[in-house]
Structure 1
Amino acid sequence: MNLTKILAISGKPGLYELKVQTRTGFVAESLIDGKKITVNLKSNVSLLSEISIYTYEGEKPLTEVMQQIAVKENKGQAISHKEDNATLAAYFKEILPTYDEERVYPSDIKKVLNWYNTLQAKGLVTDLAPAVEEPKEEAPVAAEKPKKAPAAKKAKAKKEEE
Structure 2
Amino acid sequence: MNIEKILAISGKPGLYELKIQTRSGYVAESLTDGKRITVGMRSNVSLLSEISMYTHSEEKPLVEIMRAIAVKENEGQAISHKEDNAKLIEYFAAIVPDYDEDRVYPSDIKKVMNWYNILQAKGMVSKEEPKVANAEEVKEQVVEEVKAKKEPKAAKTEAPKAKTKK
Q: Fold-level match, TM-score > 0.5? A: yes
Q: Which letter does structure 2 place at the counterpart of 1:65?
A: I
Counterpart in 2 of 1:119?
Answer: 119
1:132 to 1:5, Cα distance in 2 relative to 1, 3 A: closer
Contact in 2 for aligned 1:10/1:45 (Cα 8 Å)? yes
Alignment of 1:20-35 (within 5 A): 20-35=20-35
Counterpart in 1 of 2:94?
Answer: 94
- Map Cα deviations across residues 20-41 of structure 1 (whole Å, 9 max, x no partner): 0101001000000000000010
Tell me how far apart the structure 1 counterparts of residues 88 and 130 of structure 2 sit (CA, whole Å): 25
Greater gyration radius: 1
**1:101 partner SS:** coil
Counterpart in 2 of 1:41?
Answer: 41
- Identity among equivalent positions (%) equals 73
Alignment of 1:1-162 (within 5 A): 2-126=2-126, 129-131=129-131
Using the size of structure 1 for normalisation, the TM-score is 0.79
**1:112 partner SS:** helix
Deviation of the 1:129 alpha carbon:
3.8
Q: Structure 1: 5+ residue runs without aligned partners?
A: 134-162
Q: Structure 2: 5+ residue runs without aligned partners?
A: 134-166
Size of the alignment, in residue pairs? Answer: 133
**1:116 partner SS:** helix
Contact in 2 for aligned 1:70/1:76 (Cα 8 Å)? yes
1:89 to 1:10, Cα distance in 2 relative to 1, 3 A: same
Tell me how far apart the structure 1 counterparts of residues 124 and 89 of structure 2 sit (CA, whole Å): 25
Using the size of structure 2 for normalisation, the TM-score is 0.77
Q: Relative contact order (C-alpha < 8 Å, sep 6+): which is higher?
A: 2
What is the root-mean-square deviation of aligned Cα atoms in Å? 1.5
Tell me how far apart the structure 2 counterparts of residues 127 and 44 of structure 1 sit (CA, whole Å): 30
- Map Cα deviations across residues 47-102 of structure 1 (whole Å, 9 max, x no partner): 10000010001100000000000000000000000000000000000000000001
1:101 to 1:43, Cα distance in 2 relative to 1, 3 A: same
Deviation of the 1:128 alpha carbon:
6.9
